[in-house]
Chain A
Amino acid sequence: MSSLSRRQAETEALRWLQKQHSAQWTPADEADLDSWLQVSADHPVSYVRLRSLWRRVEDLKHYGKGLPGQVPLRREEIRTAAAKRPAIARIAIALAASFVLAVALGIFAYLPVGRVYTTPVGGLVVVPLGDRSDIKINTDTQIRVRSGGFARRIDLIYGEALFDIAPNALRPTTVYTPYQRIVVLGTKFSVWSKASGLHVAVLSGQVRVESSRSNPPEGDSRPTGTNQLRVVTLNPGDVADVGDGAITVRQESVADIERSLAWQSGRINLTNATLLQFIAEFNRYNARKIVIGDPSLEQIRLSGSFQSSNVEGFLSLLQHLGVRSEIHNDQIVLTSGHLTRRH
């Protein structure tokens, strides 16, 4: 078997399939196809394989949410469309709203208030800071950026953001969260401020986390340092969880951290995670929450990468795993159903 004859058979098989899908398919063509299939075993094999590719392509319709005749946007387009043409960004309407808000608040630039950027649930905004630095802001997040001549202060008021800060000794950057401050030494790292505490993951460079219960987000920028102050320096691959003044640090691979930052491209990417973890992630990005109605489902394990807005796609996957979903009081309730068999 040579690649050449395989390619030839594939090309011909595809031509036959195209012809079959056209309006002019006749019984005579059917007979021709039959005799073509008899010529060599390569022909039926290629024909069957390309036919299943065609069927998979038909399945892509589950992923498009556009109107009939409208090709769905590429993922990266979904993110930028909101900025350029809000009218077409039905899909990213939440994004558009956050941009409008960001621009409206942007007029306060250089006032002591700084610029405030807010994303709604499901939103994602990239804020360029000018000096080859930028901040990617995840769902349901608010930050404030104040740039002075000699220092830059960023407040993460709530939510999660990925900071990519170019080294600049003359104008150091400090990130503040309600009880911690993070001194940036030219680096790329993510910060997630959640109810249970702070989660910091470092991709490159070095950051210093200073935690103090008594350090308020506003006012005096220096930690009071009298009690409960903890300081830790994080290197690439370090992941720190800060809660109640205590900092725990563990090592992860940079690749793992990258994966947990799949939200940058509007995706949820989990490996060998429980259904509970998946749902917690989806609920961060969608206004309509998913709840588990049957505790036996909680520990089902899944791996995969999903568009965070594509709850329907996720639910249809679960359906194949025997999990049914119903809508009650504007919540999606998951219960176990019968395992559906395909093929």
Chain B
Amino acid sequence: MLLWFEQEITTQERGLRWIIRQSIKSWNASHDEVQDILQDVYVRVWKEAACLRRAQGDWRLPKAYVYQVARHLLIDIARRKARLHIENSEDLDSLDLLVDHITPERVASDLQELERLKDCFDRLSDRRREAVWLHGVEGRSQRDAAALMSISEGTLEQTFHTAMRLLWNCFGSDDAEAEAGAAERIPDLRTKI
């Protein structure tokens, strides 16, 4: 179920983020709020899948279900916040179009996201970069990485942990989204392949 969730559900993250931002841009949502809503969508999908598994043994939900959940959740939030209104209900309806297999623009944007991650990585301090590089990228054991950096294994563990948290925040932040959004608007990537 974890694997299914990772491959089928969390891969919709770009589409989800886009729709969340579209819907709540009228009230200047913080990065944290977007993250919270996103997490909430995932949690609901996970719970539903877990229920299905108990009832029928098969938990696989269609990808479009993720967007349904997002739509309902956003409408709920909209009702709670008087100021907030769903800007473009057509956008919510056309969401299912986003639910698709791997497409050239998806691959291209994957690589753009990797570029973004590289930018985030470059913003880390030297020590954190080194810890992430040795342990996370090159896959060295904590002990080897710590020895190479001449620090204790415990220090490495903590440095790496902090670095990953920073990457996590930076990678999901809004300027990353803005760039990804710009890429999405280009219509003719899928031609001629």
- List residues of A whose CB falls within 8 A of some B CB: 1-3, 6, 10-11, 14-15, 18, 21-23, 37, 41-42, 44-54, 56-64, 68-69, 71-72, 74-75, 271-272, 296-297, 299-306, 317, 320-322, 336, 339, 341-343
* Complex contact B161–A18 (CB within 8 A): yes
* Complex contact A69–B108 (CB within 8 A): no
**Looking across the interface, which residue of chain A has its beta carbon closest to that of B111?**
A317
* Complex contact A301–B186 (CB within 8 A): yes
Q: How far is the CA of A75 from the CA of B120 in the complex (A)?
A: 12
The contact of B136 among A1, A58, A300, by CB within 8 Å, is: A58
> Using Cβ atoms and an 8 Å threshold, which residues of chain A touch B186?
271-272, 301, 303
A1-B40, A297-B192, A339-B104 known; 10 new pairs, CB 8 Å cut-off, are A15-B161, A18-B161, A23-B141, A45-B39, A45-B43, A299-B191, A304-B115, A320-B104, A322-B104, A341-B102
B133 CB to closest chain A CB, in angstroms? 4
> Using Cβ atoms and an 8 Å threshold, which residues of chain B touch A58?
136-137, 139
* Complex contact B35–A6 (CB within 8 A): yes
The contact of B122 among A22, A74, A304, A320, by CB within 8 Å, is: A74
Q: With A50-B164, A58-B137 in contact, is A44–B192 under 8 Å at CB?
A: no
* Complex contact A61–B182 (CB within 8 A): no
B17 CB to closest chain A CB, in angstroms? 12
* Complex contact B118–A60 (CB within 8 A): yes
* Complex contact B2–A48 (CB within 8 A): yes
* Complex contact B138–A300 (CB within 8 A): no
* Complex contact A56–B113 (CB within 8 A): yes
* Complex contact A51–B108 (CB within 8 A): no
* Complex contact B168–A50 (CB within 8 A): yes
* Complex contact A305–B137 (CB within 8 A): no
The contact of A45 among B46, B139, B157, by CB within 8 Å, is: B46
> Using Cβ atoms and an 8 Å threshold, which residues of chain B touch A57?
117, 121, 132, 136-137, 164, 167
* Complex contact A22–B141 (CB within 8 A): yes
Q: How far is the CA of A227 from the CA of B126 in the complex (A)?
A: 60
- State the main secondary structure of chain B at its contact with A: helix
Q: How far is the CA of A51 from the CA of B193 in the complex (A)?
A: 32
Count the B residues whose beta carbon is within 8 Å of the partner chain — how many?
A: 65
* Complex contact A44–B113 (CB within 8 A): no
> Using Cβ atoms and an 8 Å threshold, which residues of chain A touch B78?
none
* Complex contact A2–B133 (CB within 8 A): no
The contact of B157 among A18, A41, A303, by CB within 8 Å, is: A18
**Looking across the interface, which residue of chain B has its beta carbon closest to that of A300?**
B192
Q: How far is the CA of A42 from the CA of B192 in the complex (A)?
A: 42
Instruction: Kindly state whether residue B173 has any CB partner on chain A within 8 Å.
Output: no
> Using Cβ atoms and an 8 Å threshold, which residues of chain A touch B148?
69
> Using Cβ atoms and an 8 Å threshold, which residues of chain A touch B82?
none
* Complex contact B133–A72 (CB within 8 A): yes
* Complex contact B46–A6 (CB within 8 A): no
* Complex contact B6–A51 (CB within 8 A): yes
Q: How far is the CA of A45 from the CA of B183 in the complex (A)?
A: 27
The contact of A304 among B7, B112, B135, by CB within 8 Å, is: B112
**Looking across the interface, which residue of chain A has its beta carbon closest to that of B7?**
A343
A292 CB to closest chain B CB, in angstroms? 12
Give B131-166 as 1s and 0s: 1 = Cβ < 8 Å from A's Cβ atoms.
011111111111100001000000001001100110
A274 CB to closest chain B CB, in angstroms? 10
* Complex contact A44–B132 (CB within 8 A): no
> Using Cβ atoms and an 8 Å threshold, which residues of chain A touch B101?
341
Instruction: Kindly state whether residue B11 has any CB partner on chain A within 8 Å.
Output: yes
* Complex contact A52–B6 (CB within 8 A): yes
Instruction: Kindly state whether residue B18 has any CB partner on chain A within 8 Å.
Output: no
**Looking across the interface, which residue of chain B has its beta carbon closest to that of A313?**
B111
Q: With A3-B32, A321-B108 in contact, is A54–B115 under 8 Å at CB?
A: no
B150 CB to closest chain A CB, in angstroms? 13
* Complex contact A41–B138 (CB within 8 A): no
The residues in B between 162 and 192 inclusive whose CB is less than 8 angstroms from any CB of A are 164-165, 167-168, 171, 182-183, 186, 188-189, 191-192
Q: How far is the CA of A60 from the CA of B138 in the complex (A)?
A: 9
The contact of A6 among B36, B126, B188, by CB within 8 Å, is: B36
* Complex contact B133–A304 (CB within 8 A): no
The contact of A1 among B43, B118, B165, by CB within 8 Å, is: B43
* Complex contact B168–A1 (CB within 8 A): no
* Complex contact A301–B189 (CB within 8 A): yes
The residues in B between 19 and 76 inclusive whose CB is less than 8 angstroms from any CB of A are 32, 35-36, 39-40, 42-44, 46-47, 50
Q: How far is the CA of A63 from the CA of B168 in the complex (A)?
A: 19
**Looking across the interface, which residue of chain A has its beta carbon closest to that of B188?**
A301
